[in-house]
Amino acid sequence: MSGQVRLHQVGIPDTGESFCCPADMAVLEAMERASCKGIPVGCRNGGCGACKVQVRSGEYVRRKMSRAVLSPAEAAEGLALACRIYPLSDLQVTAVNPDAIAASVRKDVPNGFGSVAASVCTQPDEEK
Amino acid sequence: MALTGVLRPGHVALRVLEIEPALKHYANVLGMIETARDDQGRVFLKAWDEHDHHSVVLREADEAGMDYMGWKVDSPETLRKLAVDIEHSGLCSDLGWVPAGEHPETGERFRFTIPTGHVMELYAERTVVGNNCGTDGPELNPAPWPDGMKGIAPHRFDHCLLYGDDLDGTVKLFCEVLGFGVAEQVMAGPDNGFMIGAFLSCSNKAHDVAFIRQPVKGKFHHASFLLGSWEQVLKAGDILSRNRVSVDIGPTRHGITRGETIYFFDPSGNRNEVFAGGYAYYPDKPVITWTEAELGPAIFYHDRKLNERFLSVFT
Digit-coded pLDDT (tens) for B162-207: 999 999 999 999 999 999 999 999 999 989 999 999 999 999 999 9
For residues A57 and A115, membership in a common domain is answered with no
Q: Does domain B158-312 have CATH number 3.10.180.10?
A: yes
Region of poorest pLDDT, from A2-6, A122-126, B245-249, B277-281? A122-126
B123 burial via Cβ count (<10 Å: 0-12, 13-18, 19+)? buried
Residues linked to residue A91 through DSSP beta bridges, in sequence order: A10
pTM, whole model, 2 decimals? 0.92
Strands B209-213 and B194-201, by their bridges, are antiparallel
User: CA–CA separation, B148 vs B137, rounded Å?
Assistant: 18
CATH 3.10.180.10 domain span(s) along chain B: 6-123, 158-312
The answer on pLDDT for A105 being more than 90 is: no
- Give the domain range for residue A109: 99-128
| Residues in contact with B233: Cβ distance below 8 Å, sequence separation at least 6, in sequence order | B227, B250, B251, B260, B261, B262, B274, B275, B276
The answer on pLDDT for B275 being more than 60 is: yes
Question: Is A1 inside any structural domain?
Answer: no
**Residue among A66, A106, A108 with most chain B CBs within 10 A, to mutate:** A66
What is the architecture of the domain spanning B6-123?
A: Roll (3.10)
pLDDT range class, residue A112, cuts 50, 70, 90: low
pLDDT for the residue numbered B124: 98
| Residues in contact with A17: Cβ distance below 8 Å, sequence separation at least 6, in sequence order | A11, A31, A34, A36, A37, A38
Closest partner residue to A66 among B63, B196, B271, by Cβ? B63
For residues A32 and A79, membership in a common domain is answered with yes
Task: Report how many domains make up chain A.
Answer: 2
**Among residues 196-235 of chain B, which lie with CB inside 8 Å of chain A?**
196-197, 212-215
User: CA–CA separation, A56 vs A5, rounded Å?
Assistant: 23
User: CA–CA separation, B306 vs B117, rounded Å?
Assistant: 25
pLDDT for the residue numbered B10: 98
Q: For residue B310, what are the CA distances in angstroms to A29, A35, A101, B304?
A: 19, 20, 9, 13
Question: Is A28 inside any structural domain?
Answer: yes
Question: Is A2 inside any structural domain?
Answer: no
For residues A66 and A106, membership in a common domain is answered with no
B306 touches chain A (CB under 8 A): yes
- Say which amino acid occupies A59: E
Closest partner residue to A111 among B188, B246, B313, by Cβ? B188
User: CA–CA separation, A23 vs A59, rounded Å?
Assistant: 11
User: CA–CA separation, A112 vs B196, rounded Å?
Assistant: 6
For residues A104 and A83, membership in a common domain is answered with no
Mean per-residue pLDDT of chain B? 97
For residues A108 and A81, membership in a common domain is answered with no
Closest partner residue to A112 among B65, B215, B309, by Cβ? B215
Q: Cβ A111–B64 below 8 Å, yes or no?
A: no
pLDDT for the residue numbered A2: 53
B117 touches chain A (CB under 8 A): no
